[in-house]
Amino acid sequence: MNIRLYNARILTMEKNRPVFQGEIWVRNEKISYIAADDDPETEEKKKALSQDSWDMQIDCKGNLLMPGFKNAHTHSGMTFLRSMADDLPLDKWLHERVFPLEAKLTGDDIYHLSRLAILEYLTSGITSIFDMYLDTDATAQACLDMGMRCVLASGLNNFTSSVEKLEEGYLKWNQKDSLISCQLAFHAEYTCSKELLEQVAGLAHKYKAPVYTHLAETSKEVEACRERYGATPAVFLDSLGMFDYGGGGYHCVHMSEEDVGIFRKNKMYVITNPGSNTKLASGIAPIAEYVRKKIPVAIGTDGPASNNCLDMFREMFLVTGLSKLKEMDAASLDALKVLEMATVNGAKAMGLTSCDILAEGKMADIIMIDLNQPNMQPIHNIPKNLVYSGSKSNVCMTMINGRILYQNGEFNVGDSTENIYAKCNQIVKRLLLQ
């Protein structure tokens, strides 16, 4: 598809480039041209084009075009647990509600449950997900069928998957020009034996690849690791060579100075999940401290069982709001920095440097924000509006890989929402009756 998006405000998320009035041209899956209306080259290029140069022209009516949000930690297949496993601490939540029901899931279940999550991602302007769940192939197929960009992360642990399957998936899904890619990952230190972890570290060295895992989510997790190995999870895993090629930790709420030093040394990413950490009372991650110490931070929603809302606007507000509370400083974390976490940093953490900003040659993963709603007016500062007053209701278009998958409340994902909802409800009923 050749698509022209014009009469738009544009936020490219390039360093030190403010919002400008302009247009974007999309050729197939990439951005072919982006410029301000007052750029002399723009008028010349438009004159050289005929009306039939475009499959579609969209008048953005002064609304905002920006890079899509990168949801850097998800468990899409957990939609079946939404509002079913609530109001419990993490250990009880996992062992009494989550694990028993997950044991009943099939790959086909995960496929259909992930499709429901994808619908919600699209309404929130999320164009890429970093997804960890039980059957990565099922998740990948759901994303391919619906057009969602996805980075797969294995949930490898003592009870599910294997190092052999982890390596197989890593090689299978890291193909050029695909919507699907894969990073090495495992569930957590506390669900993996030392032998298993050493094997994962071996893969990291074999492929010179980063590794991602749940890390320092709760104080109980950290203390249990100290009892087992005499060290925090980050220190213990680093001693195995796990992070010699980088990677990151999901949550990172309870980190010591030594842990922070390991992240700096290995150029690792903190992937914060404030909605989940709030709901499960895991604690408040020291995000402003990470920023001060030059540790890159990305943002994830976590899964629909622990959050329960897959909404990057809510996550962005919680990142900055909770940071201000933790530091008792209203200036502790600027909104633009948080917006960078939700877009540019997320893309880099996921290895998606081809869709981190809006620029010529980048992938056309673009969202349009409706500025003509009360919560976006007056337009004093668009980035701050997005973080402090933005809402999913402001997302009026989500484009991934040059395809418009969501526009003005309508989905273009190859199936009806009614069919997706019905299938998921059937799965839930079956699981509860087994």
**What CATH number corresponds to the domain at position 398?**
2.30.40.10
**Mean pLDDT score, 178-193:** 97
Is residue 112 domain-shared with residue 9, that is, in the same domain? no
- C-alpha dist (Å) from residue 2 to 31, 90, 312, 416: 10, 48, 29, 25
On the question of pLDDT at 17 being above 90, the answer is yes
Is residue 21 domain-shared with residue 117, that is, in the same domain? no
Residue 426 domain flag: no
Least confident of 41-55, 167-181, 293-307: 41-55
Residue 404 domain flag: yes
On the question of pLDDT at 51 being above 70, the answer is no
Is residue 215 domain-shared with residue 127, that is, in the same domain? yes
Is residue 272 domain-shared with residue 139, that is, in the same domain? yes
Is residue 98 domain-shared with residue 181, that is, in the same domain? yes
Amino acid at site 403: R
Q: For 98-155, write each residue's pLDDT tens digit.
A: 889 999 999 999 999 999 999 999 999 999 999 999 999 999 999 999 999 999 999 9
Range of the domain at 14: 2-67+355-411
Cβ atoms 9, 371 nearer than 8 A: yes
Cα 91 from chain centroid? 24
Into how many domains does the chain fold?
A: 2
DSSP character at residue 97? I
The burial of 175, by beta-carbon neighbours within 10 Å (0-12 exposed, 13-18 middle, 19 or more buried), is given as exposed
Burial letters 24-43, b for 16+ CB under 10 A, else e: bbbeebbbbbbbeeeeeebe
Is residue 121 domain-shared with residue 226, that is, in the same domain? yes
On the question of pLDDT at 50 being above 80, the answer is no
Is residue 228 domain-shared with residue 303, that is, in the same domain? yes
Residue 424 domain flag: no
Q: What is the CATH number of the domain that holds 275?
A: 3.20.20.140
On the question of pLDDT at 368 being above 90, the answer is yes
Residue 273 domain flag: yes
Is residue 43 domain-shared with residue 140, that is, in the same domain? no
**Mean pLDDT score, 75-102:** 89
What global pTM score does this model have?
0.97
Cα 63 from chain centroid? 24
Q: For 382-430, write each residue's pLDDT tens digit.
A: 999 999 999 999 999 999 999 999 999 999 999 999 999 999 999 999 9
- Banded model confidence at residue 4, pLDDT cuts 50, 70, 90: very high
| Strands, E assignment, 243-383 | 247-251, 269-272, 297-299, 366-369
Is residue 345 domain-shared with residue 389, that is, in the same domain? no
Residue 74 domain flag: yes
Cα distance between residue 128 and residue 168, in whole Å? 22
Residue 428 domain flag: no
Is residue 236 domain-shared with residue 285, that is, in the same domain? yes
Is residue 25 domain-shared with residue 149, that is, in the same domain? no
* pLDDT of 390: 98
Cα distance between residue 317 and residue 232, in whole Å? 30
Is residue 140 domain-shared with residue 85, that is, in the same domain? yes
* pLDDT of 434: 81
Cβ atoms 83, 93 nearer than 8 A: no
Residue 433 domain flag: no
Residue 431 domain flag: no
* pLDDT of 84: 87
